[in-house]
Chains A and B, each alone.
Chain A
């Protein structure tokens, strides 16, 4: 069972490496969206500092949304998904492995690049840490929740738009608390409360979302 999970993660990472353009699209999208804000709002440092956490969070959310459609689509199209369903490993665990691999190639790069982008907003250094930790805890939650939406809309016409409508409302609590962490830290409150809530969300999402997504996949494949 462990071998199967390791194999799924390895395979998805290998596929991402051989198709690096897919990953680059997501990262570049993130970079461009974040960079548009200072250009649009103007160079007022105080304003930029205030909006920075929110802008980075919204951009990360949209970027991870952009990549969601691909989590299951190609496996569905070529029949691999059926083999995963008929394998010896419970589908929920396979889904968890796939979501982890998906986050590793589309979520983690955003987390790593976010401090560099935050410089455009003149975000003070002590806030950078909180922002990065909040994104590191929050983006996997987005991937887990998004996987349920991706599984539900699998194989539908216009799945992309429907997926956004389905998933974006569910992202709202993560966005509020995630962006709130850096804001609280800016106000001198530390922000650890928000980070702990994000951690709790991550645990709950990792425990339940894969099984919900697995159930949705079984319905989609019927």
Chain B
């Protein structure tokens, strides 16, 4: 199936407030789409709607022309979503956490590739430390190490991937995203950091201030 994500006339209401309405966009392979906007403008809700975790109050999200809430596992097998939460277990080591995250996503990895992925994110030598003793930035890096093993996923949806990272890690993640886009994958992400990522097609939608 082609990488082709289509959001049609989305509307999201949280509580009494309408976060956005009439929001439409498309994302094809090799494209980068950044969602901008102030805190509380609905960026995370939009990403969750795109993944099919949240039902939009109006409109729908389609993957290859079919609604994602109907496709379910067929779509999710092609998706890599990293949310605000790192999805790490404090009692498991960095490499155990990464291996489990990959297994849940249906990606089979061996120990060597897990070590390589962690090293790529600057965690060499810390593979066997429990996540409990890692710093906030290191925990984020463990979660992001999935990107280094995520080439099989056609669509990456990343919620604030650069938060809590130092300059070196931001650079690592930037190059992983650029690499994915150049391979023909699509990336949808939100960030408050001004990070320029090389991509053939790079667009930006700003929430809470109209479409830009």
- Chain A residues engaging chain B, CB cutoff 8 angstroms: 1, 3-4, 7-8, 11, 14-15, 18-19, 74, 77-80, 82-90, 94, 221-222
Contacts and interface: CB of A to CB of B under 8 A. Distances in A.
A36 B55 CA distance: 50
A78 B104 contact: no
B89 interface: yes
Contact of B105 (A11, A78, A88): A88
B179 interface: no
30 contacts: A3-B108, A4-B103, A7-B100, A7-B103, A15-B89, A18-B92, A74-B89, A77-B85, A78-B85, A78-B88, A78-B89, A79-B84, A80-B89, A80-B104, A82-B81, A83-B81, A83-B101, A84-B104, A85-B76, A86-B51, A86-B76, A87-B104, A87-B106, A88-B104, A89-B73, A89-B104, A89-B106, A90-B72, A94-B104, A222-B53
Given A4-B103, A18-B92, 5 more contacts: A15-B92, A18-B91, A80-B87, A88-B77, A221-B53
Given A86-B51, A222-B55, A4 B76 contact: no
A86 B48 CA distance: 10
Interface string B196-210: 000000000000000
| Range, interface on chain B | 20 to 34
Interface string B63-86: 000000000110011010101111
A111 B125 CA distance: 43
B11 to A, nearest CB: 15
Given A89-B73, A90-B73, A222-B53, A1 B87 contact: no
Contact of B86 (A79, A89, A90): A79
Contact of B104 (A4, A18, A74, A221): A4
Nearest to B131: A78
A139 B154 CA distance: 43
Contacts of A4: 103-104, 106
Contacts of B106: 1, 4, 87-89
A108 B72 CA distance: 34
A77 B90 CA distance: 12
Contacts of A87: 73, 76, 104-106
Nearest to A14: B92
B92 A78 contact: no
Contact of A82 (B55, B83, B88): B83
Contacts of A77: 85
Nearest to A222: B54
Contacts of B96: 11, 14
A178 B34 CA distance: 58
B92 A79 contact: no
Given A82-B53, A221-B53, A15 B91 contact: yes
Contact of B53 (A18, A86, A89, A90): A86
A1 B101 CA distance: 13
A86 B91 CA distance: 23
A161 to B, nearest CB: 26
A54 to B, nearest CB: 38
A79 B53 contact: no
A14 B130 CA distance: 13
B104 A8 contact: yes
Contacts of B103: 3-4, 7-8
A82 B87 contact: yes
Given A8-B104, A79-B84, A86 B92 contact: no
A85 B86 CA distance: 15
Nearest to B51: A86
